Amino acid sequence: MLGEDVRTRGGFYELGGAALETDAARFQGLLAEAQQAVRARQLEPARGLLGAALDLWRGPALADVPASPMIQAYADRLEEARLLAVEVRLKADVELGHQATVPELRELTATHPLHEPLHALLMLALYRSGRQAEALSVYTGLRAALISEQGLEPGTTIRELHQRILTTDPALDPAA
């Protein structure tokens, strides 16, 4: 027995109680709360929750843990969750009309060139900034990348957004 929260069992360590309150668990709890707030259209509280969740990150997931296939798989899941948290925060920012999202979205789409939801957010942020041509250019670049690298056309959601930008759909305006 090493303490109330850490025990040895069969040559392994077992965590319990407060030891389970890891940064990863706190992050995932905050992300779940934020997603629920976004669904309820409570965007400012969602931004606060996402900020708190993302503040827990200090670099790549499990960077200081010796690598193994299991550790790498868990680290990959955590990194995907972090990207989702960033995406949800940026979605709230775009919905709230924060113009400062464009540079961050440009950086993220460069890092994740085939990630359609990030490209859609960039297109919407640009469109709402009065930069329709740039928004359409983002779609053109994504489409070319998807075709050349995956042999695929963009998905329905981003194709519909592209069409709505082409027709200057009033439903895309921030007030809508």
**Domain encompassing residue 66:** 1-96
CA distance 60 to 69: 16
**Do 118 and 132 share a structural domain?**
yes
C-alpha angle 62/36/124, rounded to 5°? 85
Flag whether pLDDT at 4 surpasses 60.
no
pLDDT tens figures, 114-153? 999 999 999 999 999 999 999 999 999 999 999 999 999 9
Same domain assignment for residues 153 and 89: no
Q: What is the mean pLDDT of residues 78-87?
A: 94
Judge if 169 and 115 occupy the same domain.
Answer: yes
Does residue 66 sit in the same domain as residue 118? no
The verdict on 49 and 82 lying in the same domain is: yes
Same domain (yes/no): 76, 104? no
pTM, to two decimals: 0.81
42 and 8 within one domain: yes
Instruction: State the total domains in the chain.
Output: 2
Question: Residue 50 has what pLDDT?
Answer: 95
Question: Using CB atoms within 10 A of its CB, is residue 126 exposed (0-12), middle (13-18) or buried (19+)?
Answer: buried
Within this chain, do residues 66 and 29 fall inside the same structural domain, yes or no? yes
The rounded percent of the chain whose pLDDT value lies above 90 is 68
Please report, for residues 52, 127, 141, the alpha-carbon distance to residue 136 in angstroms, rounded to integers and kept in the order given. 33, 9, 9
Q: What is the CATH number of the domain that holds 6?
A: 1.25.40.10
